[in-house]
A and B are shown apart, each in its own frame.
Chain A
Amino acid sequence: MVDFFIGLFLASLITALFTTRLYRLLVWYSFNSLTLGVLALLIGIKIDDNAMLITGIATIVIKAIAIPYFLKSFSQKFHFIRQIQPNIKIQYAIILIPAILVFTFYLAKPITHMIANNSNYVAISISSLFLSLLLMMEHKNVAPKITGFLSMENSLFLLGITATNGMPMLVELGIFFDLLMAIVVINLLFRREEMKNA
């Protein structure tokens, strides 16, 4: 079951890479976060860890619902360009994405002695990190870049959840706090610009 959701996570990220519309990108991001939340819940139930459950719920509430919503409202408020064209050729991307996956599995092969005892989780996390970077570099506009940054955050969480069975509660809450702070700052950044234009 866990593996299934991890697969879903990766799949949604890859799909996001090929998206050309901003809203659809946000949808995929939202879906991506949702799978992450579900994963947290699943693992939390399995190892009977309340902290994980809280993380899972917070993920779903903040990342899958609140942040995409905010971003969408920003985009309406500040008139983003919604047509987003990846500037890495699709031919390259097709080769690149499997190559990244192969590479990360190769990379993770020597890893031993883990809590979850499965180095593939690390591999998938790293590859999703790379894919998020890919997402950032294939777009010139700010909005997809922010989405890329947020997916990076997701891939961290994926690592945190699957490979380590959750980080200390305090740290996770702190990370959420910072995420919100980031959203506030992004908002402020946009607003200044708008004020100036007005």
Chain B
Amino acid sequence: MLELLLFPAFIIFGLSFIKSDKAKRLLAFVSFLILIPTVKLISLPKPFHLFKDYLVVDDLNAYILFVSSIVGIGVTLALMTLDKHVKVSKNAYRRFYRFFAIFWIGLIFSILSNNMGIYWIGLELATLSTVYMIKTNHSTAAYKEAWNYMIVGAIAISLILFGIILIYASAKPILGEDAMNFNLLLAHAKEIKSSFLFELGFATVSVGMFVKMGFFPMNLWLANIERASFYPVAALFSGILESAIIIGFFRFSKIAMEINYDHLFTFVFIYTILTIFIVSFLIYRAKDFMRLFSLSGIEHMALIALFWVSGGTFAALLHFGAHAFLKPALFLSTGVLESNGKYKIAGALKGYKGKKGTIFWFLVSLFLLAIISLPPSPMFFSEIYGFGAMIKVAKSGDNLLSMMAAILILLILLSVIFYKFVEVYQSMKYEGKVYEKKVYVTELFSLIIFGISLIILITSPVMNYLRGIS
């Protein structure tokens, strides 16, 4: 099974060395292969031991890997017409795929791992390969940002590892070498004697992850990177890489819940509110699509984290799925939206002729409205359930009023974001001048894939599946 999972990545890696024009198309279609094993994974009986105790498939990571693979396919589809919108060399294409293969391998390891160490290794692999993907854009800004990403990412990743070792140190006295095993750790979390050491470790891990996801105070670096790199890379960043991080956060916080729920909740709550506070005002001032979407991505990641620690597992996963489909879709459409006259928000949705054009602007407006959780977007439901979970926590705690105030502030901050998005949407649709713009079939196709996935997400089998994940 593991071979099957890794096989497409290896093929892509191999094919990327062929210097032929056909390779470009071939690569895109080969990348469809990544979907097959992930579908298989979902149908397997859980938990399924993929590779001893190190890689174990359960409902949670099968779901996340599946979502990621759909995103991967969508991104590679849109990649085919990248050269129509921006200047890009042929070599860059192949290199992109080469690193995409490495990225995918790293991702499989980190998502499916049942071991903190393996998780980290996969994550590091994926991170390092994306560093190079940024560089496919030959601009000074991209070069600078690639370095930036290299260093900040390295710090963040190191912090995660540091935290992992601290956690390991706290659990080793009871579990020995197996203290890196997530499942075992979860089962024996109550027995950990030095809870303070564990919490230090957890805090460090979380800080690392939060920095990596662009939470407070590092809110703009991801946005800048996504601005500087090509849009499919940005889509990969927000769609897939963050899913690898968030699953780690899911697992670590699950253990931390067992140790001391109050500390965990307070920590994450304060942190995410701080993040959303800053992000909402940054969004309020954002002037181009990339930054806007990337900042809103941070907002959604913060919400997912918050929902998860509030016990709204279902809400967090639904929100995660919706975010993972919506954000890449928007990033990919940015490529088309910005192809004439960069950074222009006013009138960006105007000037699309013909059937393709109509479908395109229609889909993009749907996505834009879905991201601010208007019904029937999955985000509408996930936010309701997520906040419901938070209220539940608030009710069971002692300081109900302050919690309510905090939640209210949170909701008001989200309204600020809402306001900005409505403004952006209206400006795209109703302001500015009309230019003729072109949309290509493959991009449209990838957007449709995302759209369909979103619809599938709110069908009852999927909802039930997500409810089943605890």
Contact = CB atoms under 8 A, between A and B. Distances in A.
B197 A182 contact: no
A96 to B, nearest CB: 18
Interface in A63-91: none
Contacts of B158: 129, 149, 152-153, 156
Contact of B165 (A136, A142, A149, A160): A160
Contacts of B117: 167-168, 170-171, 174-175
Nearest to A150: B154
A61 interface: no
Nearest to A152: B158
Nearest to B193: A113
A167 B165 contact: yes
Contact of B115 (A149, A171, A177, A185): A171
Contact of A189 (B147, B168, B173, B193): B147
B162 A164 contact: no
A174 B110 CA distance: 12
Interface in A135-177: 136, 142, 145-146, 149, 152-153, 155-156, 159-160, 163-165, 167-168, 170-171, 174-175, 177
Given A114-B169, A185-B131, A159 B193 contact: no
A159 B169 contact: yes
A178 B125 contact: yes
Contact of A107 (B147, B159, B200): B200
B331 interface: no
Contact of B125 (A159, A168, A181): A181
B194 interface: yes
B162 A168 contact: no
Interface string B137-158: 0100001001100110011001
Nearest to A166: B177
B132 interface: yes
A159 B162 CA distance: 8
A111 B197 contact: yes
A181 B166 contact: no
A129 B116 CA distance: 20
Interface in A174-198: 174-175, 177-178, 181-182, 185-186, 188-189, 192-193, 196
Contacts of A131: none
Contacts of A168: 115, 117, 177, 180
Given A142-B147, A142-B151, 16 more contacts: A111-B194, A112-B196, A114-B194, A115-B169, A122-B166, A122-B197, A136-B151, A152-B162, A156-B162, A170-B54, A170-B117, A171-B117, A175-B121, A175-B124, A185-B131, A188-B135
14 contacts: A111-B197, A112-B194, A114-B170, A115-B172, A122-B197, A136-B155, A152-B158, A163-B165, A164-B169, A178-B128, A181-B128, A185-B132, A189-B135, A196-B138
Interface of B: 54, 115-118, 120-121, 124-125, 128-129, 131-132, 135, 138, 143, 146-147, 150-151, 154-155, 158-159, 161-162, 165-166, 168-170, 172-173, 177, 180, 193-194, 196-197, 200
